[in-house]
Amino acid sequence: MADEDSGGVPEWVVTYGDMMSLLLTFFIMLVSLSEVVADKRYRAILESIQRYIGYDTAPVGPPGKNYPVNSLVERLEMKLGSFTNEDDGRGGVRAASVPGIDMRVFRNREGVEQRVGKPILFEPGRADLTDEAKRQLPAIVRAVAGKPNKIEVRAHASRQPLPPGSPFEDKIELTYERARAVANFLIAHGIDRDRIRLTAAADNEPLQQSGDKTEEHQDRAEVYISDAFVSEYIGPRDIPD
């Protein structure tokens, strides 16, 4: 008995059709992703993919415009509080912070310090301003006035021992009084007290020897201005019992 004709199409045609359907679906997904404009929809897609493949806190960096997904940075911003324009209804108001004492991030380096003017020279073993120093300091006042930067007055002493009967216990006290004399002059001429910091270097930072006799004078005070602002130095608030 002759085999009956089964009819229909070969089996490979069905497999080929399935493959074409999958390719069509793949390209449709590519087109839909390439035409996403809304940020929230784009973020939802990326977050869904991220949850599926793992790396919950890894940032996603697609080509072109970068959308920070639900990354570690965003989570810290939500917990610590930050300025954001994600929700226009808040108008950029700082988000709620964690309970308790406010957390504050600050830098621990002050950048490059610049010396203002020439060193203010002192008589050996003395901490009072000379007439020359009083004529020199107004130029320094004009240079630092009206700025928010921190000012450091750094005073030094020579390696010579203190004279007998000196009112100072040691060179640290001597150089502190020199720095305070300069600071008092600045404050008396309009410089905010909160901007000024005093450093008593004693005889630990001698100048390099050079041909300039003025620069070789070790009994001196120097005024430096830093990149740090006064607002960055906020004292700790009182903690109630």
Lowest mean pLDDT among 87-91, 92-96, 136-140: 87-91
What's the CA gap between 141 and 189, in Å, rounded? 7
> Who wins on pLDDT, 129 or 101?
129
Could you tell me if residue 2 is inside a domain? no
* 118 and 26 together in one domain: no
| pLDDT at 56 (0 to 100) | 53
| pLDDT at 85 (0 to 100) | 46
Residues 28-81 pLDDT 10s: 887 776 655 556 677 777 777 777 665 555 555 555 555 554 555 555 555 555
What is the mean pLDDT of the segment spanning 186-202? 93
Overall domain count for the chain = 3
| pLDDT at 209 (0 to 100) | 60
* 208 and 98 together in one domain: no
Token pair, residue 123, equals: 């008589």
* 121 and 225 together in one domain: yes
* Beta sheet of 114-121, edge-to-edge order: 114-121, 220-229, 149-156, 196-200
Residue given tokens 């004292």 in the structure block = 235
The three-point CA angle 237-228-174 to 5° equals 85
What is the mean pLDDT of the segment spanning 83-89? 47
The three-point CA angle 27-32-36 to 5° equals 150
* 133 and 217 together in one domain: yes
Could you tell me if residue 154 is inside a domain? yes
Could you tell me if residue 164 is inside a domain? yes
Q: Which of 17-26, 88-97, 185-194 has the highest mean pLDDT?
A: 185-194
3-state secondary structure of 137: helix
What's the CA gap between 21 and 24, in Å, rounded? 5
Q: For residue 141, give the CATH number of its domain.
A: 3.30.1330.60
* 215 and 119 together in one domain: yes
What's the CA gap between 238 and 241, in Å, rounded? 9
The rounded mean pLDDT for the chain is 75
* 139 and 196 together in one domain: yes
Q: Does the pLDDT at position 180 exceed 60? A: yes
Percent of the chain with pLDDT over 70: 60
* 38 and 147 together in one domain: no
> Who wins on pLDDT, 150 or 216?
150
| pLDDT at 216 (0 to 100) | 56
* 120 and 194 together in one domain: yes
Segments forming the whole domain that contains residue 141: 114-232
* 133 and 219 together in one domain: yes
Could you tell me if residue 45 is inside a domain? yes
Answer with the one of 48, 80, 105 that is the final residue of a domain.
105
The three-point CA angle 192-193-199 to 5° equals 125
- Give pTM, 2 decimals: 0.52
* 203 and 133 together in one domain: yes
Residues 145-160 pLDDT 10s: 988 889 999 999 998 8
Indicate the Cα dihedral angle 6, 7, 9, 12, nearest 10°: 10
Could you tell me if residue 62 is inside a domain? yes
